[in-house]
Amino acid sequence: MRAIIQRVSSASCSIKGKISGEIGIGFMILLGIEDSDTDEDLSWLAQKISNMRIFSDENGLMNKALADVQGNILLVSQFTLFASTKKGNRPGFTRSAKPDFAIPLYEKMISELGQLIGTKIQTGVFGADMQISLVNDGPVTIIMDTKSRE
């Protein structure tokens, strides 16, 4: 699994002009799932995200977690995070999980993050053509890959 986590002051996801998910302060997360991902990868990533301290404290240091700022999460699936650009100019997506494998993991991530942070996770719609709007605060952007834990 790969996640791009952006610290935001606001973010929203729209589909055909209708908002499917919207948050104020929190994390805008793009999540890529590949065929080799497991429940263990999911749990590890969810724990890391929920405890990540990238919000500023009174001294301007990144010491506060999502719960400390009463933040929320907007989680959007993005198969293009596993794009291969080695050959030619058209990316290949063979590492991206097919929907029958990816959707259950995406839904489980929504549930697990919701339990960990104690609030409803805002989302996009898996496989939809989505428009994302956000204000990246900082800017702060963290890239995580469950295959690179060490």
Query: Mind telling me the catalytic residues?
Result: 80
Do 68 and 56 contact (CB within 8 A), yes or no? no
Rounded to the nearest 10°, the torsion over CA 111, 116, 120, 125 is -40
Element (H, E) at 135: strand 131-145
Q: Which residue has the tokens 């890959």?
A: 145
Other CB atoms closer than 10 Å to residue 143's CB: what's the count? 11
> Ramachandran region of residue 138, left (φ > 0), alpha (ψ -120 to 50) or beta?
left
